[in-house]
A and B are shown apart, each in its own frame.
Chain A
Amino acid sequence: MFETLILILDATLRVSTPLILAALAGLFSERSGIVDIGLEGKMLAGAFAAAAAAAVFGSAWIGLLFAIAASVSLALIHGFACITHRGDHIVSGVAINTIVAGLTVTLGLDWFDQGGQTPSLTGDARFTPITFPFADQLADVPVIGLIYSELLSGHNILVYLAFAMVPLTYWIVFKTRFGLRLRAVGENPHAVDTAGISVALVRYRAVIICGILCGLAGAYLSTAHNAGFLKDMSAGKGYMALAALIFGKWRPIPVLCACLLFGFLDALAVRLQGVSLPGIGEVPVQAIEVLPYVLTVLLLAGFIGKAVGPKAIGKPYVKERA
């Protein structure tokens, strides 16, 4: 029983990683006032770029760089539309998602000729698990051994990075000058402008950070969690991250908790496949897979109170006032 739980939690960490990275990406963007429904698209583009580059160059790290470059480019397009040209954030985000969904498969077909997939990645072309010192020796120690060797050890670098990003994000957002300006620009850009700070510049920085994190999330999907790119492999994780962001009220620690909860439900769904529960019988997988979404709606609707986002979110900043 204990071992099962550890295994589920272990899976939770792996499933949560892209959610955490994408949700933190969204946090930077939305705290600055830019709605980002394009997390999904940026992640998918990152996944494709990472897998493609890793397949060609044989290095996961080069793949990662390409993922970040692809994702940041899209983020800049989003910024150009929303910040410079004051376009509608949702329209721009949806456009990015749609373009990426089609383009990745098209390019994949053209470049690799494998039905839109990239070649399977092996060896250095993937991020491989890192085994902590003494993990194997300690594996037999009761309780702690299992937690150390199974749960904490044996993940790839991106998993650890994702978790390290949470306190780092907290520190950046709440303890630094950039964070103060970031929060201010999402609440009242006029105040930022009159304080002599460029609203556009702060927002561009925010979307670039968003792009970098989405790139990491994408690379994780194709070069760490899986061994190659599959059509639509982000599978709604970007939207899930957005839900976690709202659920966590745009704050890093609650957002982490939301991502872990969603990840846990996802891991549970896999575990419960074909398992017959006492008194209930066999639970359809779909019923569990739908839980995170149902939970978000229910919790947002009543249990955790109103999720009030940054005040100026989604509103283009217009300097001239009547």
Chain B
Amino acid sequence: MTQQTHPYSIELEGISKRFGTVQANKNIDLQVPAGTIHGIIGENGAGKSTLMSIIYGFYEADSGSISIDGQQVSIRNSQDAINVGIGMVHQHFMLVENFSVLENVILGAEGGAVLKQGMDAAREELKRLEQEYSLDIDVDAIVEDLPVGLQQRVEILKALYRGAKILILDEPTGVLTPQEADHLFRILKSLKEQGVTVILITHKLREILASTDNVSVMRQGEMVAHRETSKTDKEELAELMVGKKVRLKVNKDEAKPEQTVLSAKDLSFFDGQGVERLKKVSLDLKAGEILGIAGVSGNGQSELLNVLSGITPMASGEIQFAGQTITANAPKNAAQMRDLKMAHVPEDRHKMGLVTGFEAYEAAVLGYHDSEAYNGSVLMKRSAMLEECNERMAAWDVRPPNPHLKTANFSGGNQQKIVIAREVEQNPNVLLIGQPTRGVDIGAIENIHEQIVKLRDAGKAILLVSVELDEIMALSDRIIVMFDGAVVGEVSANEADERTLGLMMANAWNEGQGAQA
């Protein structure tokens, strides 16, 4: 916009925030030039979200100041933030799901005690916004019926409707297909052209490089670097993020697949509402390979893991495993599958992998707690459990190496190491592993990836489910794509590229199809 008088639309000076003993933000300075897209990257726990929460008025900073267009402002709650023109698209959408798009947009900005008038005015205004920023959406649709990509657009509209000049997006692409993400970035570009300042928080380097003008890097609560995006690259940013040289590729040799150890045929599963979540899924898993299951979250991957691991019974189909035929009429539960040497690292470690109130040594035997190694005639052998836990913590570099610490108090990466160690140390023949590095920082990701490859090289069969395409592509020897409960494609890792997989994940791929989706 031409009337911009101040070069920086938002300026932070010396922002600090402490939660108990944790210094979440330490003396942060940041200047975001008006009308640009500014990326903020950092590992999980680097303090990005805390910083944005301070800007949006969720938390108050212990010290420091915020200026908008050169004016120092005090932001004590979300209303203050909205008033100075800040809008935020949260990672988990802040939408009322059974409200219409229109109702969601006007919530908090209704324009009068009776809705009618405000709604009509909002309808007009939304029409204008939609045209101006090419954000097509049916304003009368109920939000829960919309795909996530559109729900995100509602969030953006919400901010624009409130007159946001600064739009903050927190990890906006986590739930999107690559195509939806591309669309989002086109929208952000057009916002920028209209003079909106966009702040993009992400841990995905690719997005930063593809869409931002400037980038700031956070590490351990501090702002460690500012770069012009055009003058930096993936390697430099990654290094700044973690503070040491990291590999973006997993080092592994060609797989040497051997005999099939697990074979699933026509697996079906219906959820509580009678919706078919798995549609005749068949797959073969060979010893010495990593089979990756790609897909946007919620397309049957979780159900597949649950059915294979025996947690939920299948509706039909059969599984051949360890010389047994498992069918709907002859099911095996999770404990029986474990006895057949199948290990399972569940997708959600808080819900299914750990009891967060347990101490580490207790969590480390979950699922194997009946094993003779841990049990005396009546009581459990505490000392044996502790000893083993100490050994594993040393071997897997779990920090802090304290078996008496509650699992809830470990960081995400260390919790995950506890779970993976527990499963892998049982020397399984098949390892099912879901989202191995969700919420895990880069250093630990590397370590976990190495362990998975090591297990494969030891001749184990590994089924990897992940919504991170980078992870699937880096680790897998073979990739299956799931969409809407069915397998929609299979490619060998060598042939896989992001675009093909992305299109398959959106079920927009036709064999032999040319360049256009």
> Which residues of A are at the interface with B, using a C-beta cutoff of 8 A?
175-181, 183-184, 187-188, 190-197, 311, 319
Chain B residues contacting A179 (CB-CB under 8 Å) are: 115
Chain A residues contacting B99 (CB-CB under 8 Å) are: 183-184, 187
Chain A binder among B7-15, B76-84, B459-467 = B76-84
Partner of B115, one of A175, A188, A193: A175
B 58-88 contacts with A by CB, 8 A: 58, 77-82, 88
Partner of B94, one of A183, A188, A311: A188
Chain B residues contacting A311 (CB-CB under 8 Å) are: 97-98
Contact, CB under 8 Å: A187 / B112:
no
B 489-513 contacts with A by CB, 8 A: none
Question: Taking CB as reference atom, which chain B residue is nearest A193?
Answer: B78
Question: Taking CB as reference atom, which chain A residue is nearest B115?
Answer: A175
Chain A binder among B100-108, B361-369, B398-406, B441-449 = B100-108
Question: Taking CB as reference atom, which chain A residue is nearest B113?
Answer: A177
Beyond the given A184-B96, A187-B96, please list 8 additional residue pairs across the A-B interface where CB-CB is below 8 A: A177-B110, A180-B107, A184-B99, A184-B107, A190-B94, A191-B107, A193-B94, A194-B94
Contact, CB under 8 Å: A175 / B114:
yes
A44–B223 Cα gap in the complex (Å)?
60
Contact, CB under 8 Å: B103 / A180:
yes
> Which residues of B are at the interface with A, using a C-beta cutoff of 8 A?
56, 58, 77-82, 88, 90, 92, 94-99, 103-104, 106-110, 112-116, 118, 158
Contact, CB under 8 Å: B98 / A187:
yes
A190–B94 Cα gap in the complex (Å)?
6
Partner of A195, one of B78, B80, B113, B114: B78
A169 to chain B, nearest CB (A): 15
Contact, CB under 8 Å: A180 / B97:
no
B122 to chain A, nearest CB (A): 12
Chain B residues contacting A193 (CB-CB under 8 Å) are: 78, 94
Partner of B90, one of A183, A194, A319: A194
Question: Taking CB as reference atom, which chain A residue is nearest B106?
Answer: A180
Chain B residues contacting A180 (CB-CB under 8 Å) are: 103, 106-107, 110, 115
A180–B86 Cα gap in the complex (Å)?
23
A195–B97 Cα gap in the complex (Å)?
15
A191–B95 Cα gap in the complex (Å)?
5
Interface of A: prevailing SS: helix
Chain A residues contacting B56 (CB-CB under 8 Å) are: 194
Question: Taking CB as reference atom, which chain A residue is nearest B81?
Answer: A196
Q: Return the 9 tightest CB-CB contacts between A and B, nearest first.
A: A195-B108, A196-B79, A177-B110, A191-B94, A194-B94, A196-B78, A187-B96, A184-B96, A188-B96
B272 to chain A, nearest CB (A): 11
Chain B residues contacting A319 (CB-CB under 8 Å) are: 58
Question: Taking CB as reference atom, which chain B residue is nearest A195?
Answer: B108
Partner of A194, one of B88, B114, B118: B88
Known: A196-B77, A196-B82. Contact between A176 and B107, CB under 8 A?
no
Chain A residues contacting B79 (CB-CB under 8 Å) are: 196-197
A163 to chain B, nearest CB (A): 23
B117 to chain A, nearest CB (A): 10
Contact, CB under 8 Å: A192 / B97:
no
Contact, CB under 8 Å: A191 / B114:
no
A194–B81 Cα gap in the complex (Å)?
10
Contact, CB under 8 Å: B114 / A183:
no
Chain A residues contacting B78 (CB-CB under 8 Å) are: 193-196
Question: Taking CB as reference atom, which chain B residue is nearest A186?
Answer: B96
Chain B residues contacting A191 (CB-CB under 8 Å) are: 94-96, 104, 107
A52–B192 Cα gap in the complex (Å)?
68
- Could you name 6 residue pairs across A and B whose Cβ atoms are closer than 8 Å? A176-B113, A177-B114, A187-B96, A190-B94, A196-B108, A319-B58
Chain B residues contacting A196 (CB-CB under 8 Å) are: 77-82, 108
Chain A residues contacting B90 (CB-CB under 8 Å) are: 194
Chain A residues contacting B88 (CB-CB under 8 Å) are: 194
Task: Tell me which of B79, B88, B118 has the highest count of chain A C-beta atoms within 10 A of its own C-beta.
Answer: B79
Task: Tell me which of A178, A183, A187, A195 has the highest count of chain B C-beta atoms within 10 A of its own C-beta.
Answer: A195
Partner of A181, one of B77, B81, B107: B107
Contact, CB under 8 Å: B97 / A188:
yes
Contact, CB under 8 Å: B58 / A187:
no
A177–B56 Cα gap in the complex (Å)?
23
A188–B113 Cα gap in the complex (Å)?
21
A245–B236 Cα gap in the complex (Å)?
60
Chain A residues contacting B108 (CB-CB under 8 Å) are: 181, 192, 195-197
A47 to chain B, nearest CB (A): 33
Contact, CB under 8 Å: B96 / A183:
yes
A178–B112 Cα gap in the complex (Å)?
10
A156–B60 Cα gap in the complex (Å)?
54
A194–B97 Cα gap in the complex (Å)?
15
B289 to chain A, nearest CB (A): 36
Contact, CB under 8 Å: A195 / B116:
no
Chain B residues contacting A197 (CB-CB under 8 Å) are: 79, 107-108
A319–B80 Cα gap in the complex (Å)?
17
Chain A residues contacting B115 (CB-CB under 8 Å) are: 175-177, 179-180
A141–B437 Cα gap in the complex (Å)?
81
A319–B94 Cα gap in the complex (Å)?
13
Known: A176-B114, A196-B79. Contact between A187 and B109, CB under 8 A?
no
Chain B residues contacting A184 (CB-CB under 8 Å) are: 96, 99, 103, 107
Contact, CB under 8 Å: B107 / A195:
yes
Contact, CB under 8 Å: B94 / A178:
no
B262 to chain A, nearest CB (A): 36
A196–B109 Cα gap in the complex (Å)?
9
Chain B residues contacting A183 (CB-CB under 8 Å) are: 96, 99
